[in-house]
Amino acid sequence: MKLLENIRVIDMTNVLSGPFCTLHLSLLGAEVIKIENPDGGDLARKLGNVSKLNQDLMGTSFLAQNANKKSLTLNLKMDRGKEIFRKLLETADVVVENFRPGVMARLGFSYEEICKISPKIVYCAISGFGQTGPDAFKPAYDQIIQGLSGEMDVNGDERLHPLRAGFPVCDTVGGLNAAFAIMAALYYREKTGEGQFIDIALIDSIMPLMGWVAANLLIGGKPPIPMGNDNFTAAPSGVFKTKDGFINIAANQQKQWEDLADIVGLPELKTDPRFQERDTRKANRKLLTPILEEKLTLNTTEYWVDILNEKGIPSGDIVSLENALNSEQIKHRQTIVDVKEPQIGNIRILNLSAKFSKTPASVDAPPPRLSAHTEEILTQIGYTKEDMKLLKEKMVI
């Protein structure tokens, strides 16, 4: 069986944080019914770097987050649309939405109203700042949250600061946080029979990821210093030049540092008072790096990676995204899988990263075309072909 077999999720989400949440649920076997506006559907359908796919409402951004899901178009501003939605709620286990606070209430479907239809429902609302507080009603995109959370303040260096992360990290971790919370709430419901409301804020979600940096300020009283590719917890730990490129080295333990000094031919550094102890090495990292690079540039990245890893000093090449996605380890882990979309052909999709021994996740169906499952789902809840013809004419579906 699938881990979430027989769990029905009503997915009201758009673009990234919400769809990334429900993607995890769908890969684990939940039936995820994506409710989309009849006029174009999820905005992500038009986002990506392939114009034809955007025009076909199957943009790469949509393809990345919506495998295994079903698409039902529904105009919730119309009474007949609300009627259909109520019938769907009677069959649902989970509702996920990422509107601004208050939108669902204005449509007539606040959590309190939904509970009257089905008290067992787990309702998860994802927003930029949460459902309450002075910022709750402000608009929010990932980059706005990156800036307001302090995440951009810990990136970059003295030349380039503040600096955003190269992918929408706040949206992504917000979706992951929501998926985790929904699973926990379903476990609670299994024990008690009770659903509940979950309030996920992107700004809350990103902050625990900065735990060590935040602790240095909250507990140690020291604000972050932008250090670029250096690791603030240790030295030498960061990016270093080699003969043909760059290498990541993380000599975070004292023995690793001492072994590194021996391997590169600088044993005298082990007793140099500037570098002997961890904290003094960190304080003098700008002196240490060029000394090490003078030796590291005598040989290739591949040479140093092999010899350092062999001695237990974590190190690695810095590869392109293309090479990373096609690495042998990623192939072995089946982190990326192929799925066939009837009109596009084979597309490569990132799989669930957790590997379950008894209930493995899987990509079983491609991301859906807009409204591909409307007829199937409405038939399940009692609508006839004639009913659906009339609903289409009135632009309810």
Give the DSSP per-residue string, 304-361. Answer: HHHHHHHTT--EEE---HHHHHT-HHHHHHT-EEEEEETTTEEEEEEPPS---SSS--
How much is the average pLDDT of 320-331? 96
Q: What is the average pLDDT across 200-204?
A: 98
Question: Which pLDDT value is given to residue 211?
Answer: 93
So what's the pLDDT on residue 1? 87
The yes-or-no answer on residue 171 being catalytic is yes
**29 phi/psi in degrees, rounded to 5:** 105, 0
* Residue range 143-163: mean pLDDT, rounded: 95
Nearest-angstrom CA–CA distance, 258 and 269 = 8
Six-digit token pair at 61?
């951004």
Q: Is 229 helix (H, G, I), strand (E, B) or coil?
A: coil
Q: Decide: 317 and 302 in contact? Cβ < 8 Å.
A: yes
Q: Which CATH class is domain 237-318?
A: alpha beta
Contact 34/70 with Cβ under 8 angstroms?
A: yes
Q: Is the pTM of this model over 0.85?
A: yes
What's the rounded mean pLDDT across residues 314-339? Answer: 96
Contact predicate 25/67, CB 8 Å: no
Confidence of residue 277 (pLDDT cuts 50, 70, 90): very high
Tokens 């810990």 appear where? Answer: 154
- Token pair, residue 39, equals 């006029």
Q: How large a percentage of the chain has pLDDT more than 90?
A: 98
Give the pLDDT confidence score for residue 358 in this predicted structure: 95
Q: Per-residue pLDDT for 11 more than 90?
A: yes
For residues 200-218, average pLDDT: 96
Residue 356 has pLDDT above 90, yes or no: yes
Q: Which of 171, 262, 272, 338 is catalytic?
A: 171
Q: What is the percent of the chain where pLDDT is above 70? A: 100
pLDDT digits (tens, 9 = 90+) for 218-274: 999 999 988 999 998 899 999 999 999 999 999 999 999 999 999 999 999 999 999
289: which residues sit within 8 A by CB, 6+ positions away?
A: 236, 238, 240
Give the residue carrying structure tokens 């955003």. Answer: 164
Question: Mean pLDDT across the stretch 31-57?
Answer: 97
Band the pLDDT of 296: cuts 50, 70, 90. very high
Report residue 280 CA to chain centroid gap: 37
d(CA 377, CA 308): 57
Q: Report, as an integer, the average pLDDT of 62-86.
A: 97
Domain ranges of the chain: 8-209+331-393, 237-318
Q: Is the pLDDT of residue 196 over 90?
A: yes
What is the pLDDT, as a whole number, of residue 120?
A: 97
Per-residue pLDDT reduced to its tens digit, 47-59:
999 999 999 999 9
The pLDDT score that the predictor gives to residue 168 is 96
Please answer whether residues 64 and 350 qualify as being in contact, where contact means their C-beta atoms are separated by less than 8 angstroms: yes
Instruction: Say how far apart CA 60 and CA 49 lie, in whole Å.
Output: 7
Helices (H), the chain: 17-27, 51-55, 60-65, 79-91, 103-106, 111-117, 142-148, 169-192, 202-206, 211-218, 254-263, 278-283, 285-296, 301-310, 321-325, 328-333, 374-380, 385-393
pLDDT for 320: 95
Pick the CATH number of 8-209+331-393 from 3.40.50.10540, 3.40.50.300, 3.40.47.10, 3.30.1360.120: 3.40.50.10540
Q: What is the mean pLDDT of residues 14-32?
A: 97
